[in-house]
Amino acid sequence: MSMKNLKLTLIGLSTLVLSSVAVKTMAADAICYNCPPQWADWASQLEAIKENLGLEIPHDNKNSGQTLSQLLAEKDNPVADVAYYGVSFGIAAKNEGVVEPYKPANWDDIAEGLKDPDGHWFTIHSGALGLFVNVEALGDVPVPTSWADLLKPEYKGLVGYLDPSSAFVGYAGAVAINRAMGGTLDDFGPAIEFFQKLAENDPIVPKQTSYARVLSGEIPILFDYDFNAYRGKYKDNANVEFVIPAEGTVVVPYVMSLVKNAPNAENGKKILDFIMSDTGQAVWANAFLRPVRASAMSEEAQSKFLPASEYERATPLDYGKMAEVQEAFGERYLEEVR
């Protein structure tokens, strides 16, 4: 759908959640959109912020697309102070004028290409997109090793992915598959064809983060990031694995922004500074994410990752272009797949 229609469609969604957000705001020192405790260990980060800054931030279970839509709906009367989302949504938020420049602590440690030059968005960590697999839930079905495996009959009803027209991780999966199948950011035909074939295998397509559903076995295979799989394996002691598909995948940054005219802007700035501090970055590293400040990654955390040889198949791409073509892909997906 067009950005105009996206705004109109999701204003209704915004209205539904505004009342609950308003209640949270009264008891909160700041609001962060899209900081769900089950995703990327935001639970630990929010606790660290409370412990170090004394700031209460309520949990928020939006996805990246819902976050941008909410910011657009509240443009004239902002509720959130900071926002977290996949890089293409951060770029879109800048273009829509709902965030403002802010260069947090350790700004110079963020490599060029991983931040807006003026600070409208900046990377805090990244992840490699692959397959988060509950081995026990598969039973006798083998752990897949490639994107192509997922189209086989034995994986019918076992594969899940977040809605790529809404959730950033879903879109990142589509970009990864598209490139793996020979497509480009100017040609999403291979991805559309893949999802059409996968639709015949009865995939599970939620809109929200689904970490718990993988651990429970409800979704045995999920397109997701390495950090969630490692968290499941090493922190929740689940029988899960992370697979970097044989055809290759992408590395994707997650970014944050200061909301324009934020009601608690000074607290928002303190939060962003903390997340970029040694302590804040170490939270991500201990949750198996790659912090944007590489010095925060401990040897112990690094040892839990797949070997470097596996990660040679996980590479970056043109994130600006990825953002530019996201809306068009979402329209094609809704029209030709869903």
- Residue 46: HSE in the Cβ half-sphere, 13 Å Cα cutoff: 23
Containing H/E element for 224?
strand 221-225
For 335, residues 6+ apart whose C-beta sits below 8 A from its C-beta are: none
Q: Where are the alpha helices (DSSP H) in the chain?
A: 3-27, 42-53, 64-73, 87-96, 135-138, 168-180, 189-199, 211-215, 226-234, 265-275, 278-286, 299-303, 308-311, 319-324, 326-336
Count: domains in the chain = 2
Q: How many Cβ atoms sit within 10 Å of the Cβ of residue 114? A: 17
Residues 224 and 273 in one domain: no
Residues 96 and 190 in one domain: no
Determine the structural domain holding residue 193 and report its residue range. Answer: 127-251+318-336
- Residue 312: HSE in the Cβ half-sphere, 13 Å Cα cutoff: 4
The DSSP result for 92-125, as a single string, is HHHHHT-EE----TTGGGSPTTSB-TTSS-EEEE
Residues 98 and 8 in one domain: yes
- Model confidence over 135-169: pLDDT tens digits? 999 999 999 999 999 999 999 999 999 999 988 89
- Model confidence over 45-74: pLDDT tens digits? 999 999 999 999 999 999 899 999 999 999
In a domain, 311, yes or no: no
Residues 9 and 100 in one domain: yes
- Model confidence over 98-131: pLDDT tens digits? 999 999 999 999 989 899 999 999 999 999 999 9
In a domain, 312, yes or no: no
* Type of residue numbered 68: L
In a domain, 81, yes or no: yes
- Model confidence over 262-317: pLDDT tens digits? 999 999 999 999 999 999 999 999 888 999 998 888 888 889 999 989 999 999 99
Residues 42 and 122 in one domain: yes
Phi and psi at 13, nearest 5°, equal -60, -45
In a domain, 188, yes or no: yes
pLDDT at 2: 43
Residues 223 and 261 in one domain: no
23: Cα separation from own chain's centroid: 26
* Type of residue numbered 130: G
Residues 40 and 96 in one domain: yes
CATH number for 180: 3.40.190.10
